[in-house]
Structure 1
Amino acid sequence: MRAWVKACLALTALGMWLGQALPAQAQTSDLVSKTAFRVCADPANYPVSTEDGSGYENQLAELIAAKLELPVQYVWFPQATGFIRNTLAAKRCDVVIGYAQGHELVQNTNHYYTSAYALIVPMDSDLTEVDRLKDPALKGRKIGIVAGTPPAAHMARNGLIGQAKPYNLFVDRRVERPAIDMLDDLQSGEIDAAILWGPLGGPLVKADYPGFKVIPLINEELPPRLFYRITMGVRQGEKVWQRQLNSLIRRNQDEINAVLAEAGVPLVNDLGTEVLDLSQ
């Protein structure tokens, strides 16, 4: 009988030890690859991420991977409905390079830049001095807008929706390219102005539409806000990996800024009230 009691006590002690040890191991290891920097990315989101590696998020991935002394390994999936579920949450990859701060589907790192939606107009138009959507100069103009994005609410408030041309938001960019279609329409005169997320529109203009001006919309006084802080996204609960990336972002911010500035991403301060000039 005593032997049986001792055995039970021993098993209980072992169970208590395992109950303490296993969660600690999970907390420190995370489910992150130790042999590659595994990136979840859209293969056709030019100029942000591309399967041929020419996007500026590809360059940021290479930068972080080099600091980790690991090769980059991609898991490609269209950045539309189901993107996180089929990539990061499925544990097929470990980081999304660009993700808006505060989104509940991921755990955010510290933000590494802030940007805003932008009004894009031809350099030779009479709209180059417009810096807010309530400007009377926009009345009666045909403006391109991605349906369902925050600037649409401002357009509606200012009576600009009636003549707007909408473009789809959730698409597979391998077969549909709303941002490029919008800028092509602006170039052809089909629309008078375009409104795009700055980190998409700015690099597109710099690379392919040099006759356009990009005006970050930082002067809107009413909600919804048009500026967002951009982070790297990791799986919920992977605190060790999050802290490691936070450290890498902090120590390499200047190099990150250089990649973004070279790409043409419009950068604003953390409050979204001032456009930053990193060329100086």
Structure 2
Amino acid sequence: MPAWGKPARWGRRSLLAAATLAAVLPGPGRAQVADLVSPTALRVCADPADPPLSDKAGDGFENRIAVLMAESLGRDLQYTWFPMAQGFVRRTLSAVQCDVIIGYAQGDELVLNTNAYYTSAYTIVTRADSDLHDVTTLEDPRLKGRRIGYVANTPPGTHLARLGMIPDAQSYDLMVDTRRYHPNEDMLADLAAGRIDAGLMWGPIAGPLAKGYDGKLVVTPLIHETAGPRLFYRITMGVRPGEDRWKRTLNSEIRKLQPQIDRILADAGVPLLNDDGTAAKALPAP
């Protein structure tokens, strides 16, 4: 989400240090925090090459949510593009180049979080023709000795270590320049080709990407683990600390637009869970 909090791509965000507002604002007469938000445009901080979440072509589901929000607010949509890597928050949101990150894990201290607008989880992705296609938990004995892909320094790796499965696992890099490297796509390609037996991936990335495999891959949310760390997260929008009025404005829009947001996410293939992360979210018929 960003998607930075704890999940895969979100995990990159939790590793970054945001600069303070004092470091980017002018001298003693600096503006009040609320005055930094553009009154005429929805200025979005985003990665230009991070499908299925965001890209410059506007095809990501976060792009579509941004369009929906801008139309509802009656503002032009403007982007500040920067890779989801070291310096993202500092160079975009904290530098007042933009006013909102569309996807950000709840509870991360780098930003002020809006209300959550969806909950999702890490997933296990398997081949539909594999004997692992119906695995629902990492404690399933069928996974022992199997080659399992995971993104380094994300919660599923902790579970693999707890279960003694790291020696057989295949790690993929977390901190990458998404304009050049695509570890999630690489993991699914390795899975489809049989180079790994399963992949552990953040659901909002896994679900949409797996749709490109025409039913050959199965994406199952990991909601039955009996030990920590937890694998589900609530996703918010992120604004600068202190921008409570802007946060309230966005909260109001999220409440009003929630059915349309749910539909964008579901159509993209994002696994949506209830707020407790214990079951699939019930959605009204389209």
Who is 1:59 aligned against?
64
1:154 aligned residue: 159
Deviation of 1:192 after TM superposition, in Å, equals: 0.4
Larger displacement relative to structure 2 (30-39 or 232-241): 30-39
Counterpart of 1:256 (choices 258, 261, 277) is 261
Cα distance, 1:207 vs. partner? Answer: 3.3
What SS does the aligned partner of 2:199 have?
strand
Percentage of pairs with the same residue: 56
Match of 2:17? none
The counterpart of 2:32, out of the listed 26, 31, 35, is 26
| Structure 2 partner of 1:47 | 52
Residues 126-162 of structure 1, C-alpha deviations (whole Å, 9 max, x = no match) = 1122111010010110000000000111111112111
Query: What's 2:240 paired with?
Result: 235
Q: Aligned in 2, Cα 1:174/1:209: closer, same or farther, shift over 3 Å?
A: farther
How far apart in 2 are the matches of 1:111 and 1:30? 24
Q: Give 1:79's aligned residue.
A: 84
Gaps of 5+ in 2: 1-28
Aligned match of 2:188: 183
Shifted more, 109-118 versus 268-277: the winner is 268-277
Work out the CA distance in 2 between the residues paired with 1:233 and 1:207: 29
Give the residue type in structure 1 aligned to 2:184.
A
Gaps of 5+ in 1: 1-21
Q: Is the 8 A contact 1:114 1:269 kept in 2?
A: yes
State the partner residue of 1:271.
Answer: 276
User: Residues 44 and 174 of structure 1 are in contact (CA less than 8 Å); yes or no, is this contact kept in structure 2?
Assistant: yes
Q: Distance in 2 between matches of 1:175 and 1:279?
A: 39
Residue number in structure 1 paired with 2:18: none
Matches within 5 A, 1:204-243: 204-208=209-213, 210-243=215-248
Q: CA deviation at 1:208?
A: 4.2
How far 1:277 moved relative to its partner?
A: 4.3
Contact residue 106 and residue 235 of structure 1 kept, 8 A: yes
Q: TM-score of the superposition, structure 2-length normalised?
A: 0.87
**TM (normalized to structure 1)?**
0.89
Distance 1:47 1:238, change over 3 A: same
* Aligned residue type for 1:175: R
User: After the TM superposition, which residues 167-206 of structure 1 pair with which residues of structure 2 at under 5 Å, given as runs?
Assistant: 167-206=172-211
The size of the alignment, in residue pairs, is 257
Distance in 2 between residues matched to 1:164 and 1:124, nearest whole Å: 21
For 1:201-224, what per-residue CA distance to the aligned partner results, in whole angstroms no more than 9, with x for missing partners? 111012345310000000011111
Q: 1:125 and 1:207 mapped to 2: Cα distance?
A: 18
Once the two structures are overlaid, the 10-residue window that deviates more, 117-126 or 198-207, is: 198-207
> Which of 146, 153, 170 is residue 165 of structure 1 equivalent to?
170
Runs of 4+ in structure 1 off by over 2 angstroms are 207-210, 276-280
**Letter matched to residue 219 of structure 2:** V
